[in-house]
Structure 1
Amino acid sequence: MADIVPISRAPRPAPPRQSDPEPLWRHLLGEQLRRRRHDREETLTETAEKAGVSPQYLSEVERGRKEPSSEMIAAIAGALDTSLIELTSAVADELRAASTPASAVVSAARGAFTLAA
């Protein structure tokens, strides 16, 4: 009987690495809502009651599983004693920070120092 000899294969090149995709709006919104609710030391049930939504729905929004309507976002923002503009501005700021490459931040910082000198 013949011996089986393994054939060595050249390692496959790794697929080209793509940059991380931009975070979704609903994920950043959910994180922002959860952070604000925790800052107020409220439970899901307490905030949901104030907003007029179910705790399950609020949980899904906070986890980025639901794409809430503007009316729902406004209701939840109101329950957290914040305005829709404050909430959306905070989410937009996070989105900008998450999508700005580190090299652009360093370049911008160098430019600022150059102008100040």
Structure 2
Amino acid sequence: MPKIYVKKAFTLNAGSEPKQFAVGNHSVSAEVADHWFVKAHVGEPEPASESEKAADELLADLAKREKALTERELAADERDADLAKREEAVAAREKVAEQAAVEAAAAAKAAPTAKK
């Protein structure tokens, strides 16, 4: 199906029912696209205005910033997970050290003291 750009709204009365075409892009059959009345109302799309270009640039910049933010959030999540693992390892080492100190103290109490 050919695509046409309608530059001026019109109503096509070819066929059984009238069909209205608003300004903008339309997908139509080849028969409709070749109709002389349609050809009189179609053309090339208007070039983008400065404000549209600026909006497109801003949208591209926004997409770039969103991507960077997502990457930073993922990196922060990875650092948080790594930090949590390190904290668990430190807590486990401290627990083992405390247990060893308790066992050493108990062993010291249980061992008879040597008299001189």
The structure having more radius of gyration, on CA atoms, is 2
Normalising by structure 2, we get a TM-score of: 0.25
Higher strand proportion: 2
User: Comparing both chains, which one has the higher relative contact order based on Cα–Cα distances under 8 Å and sequence gaps of 6 or more?
Assistant: 1
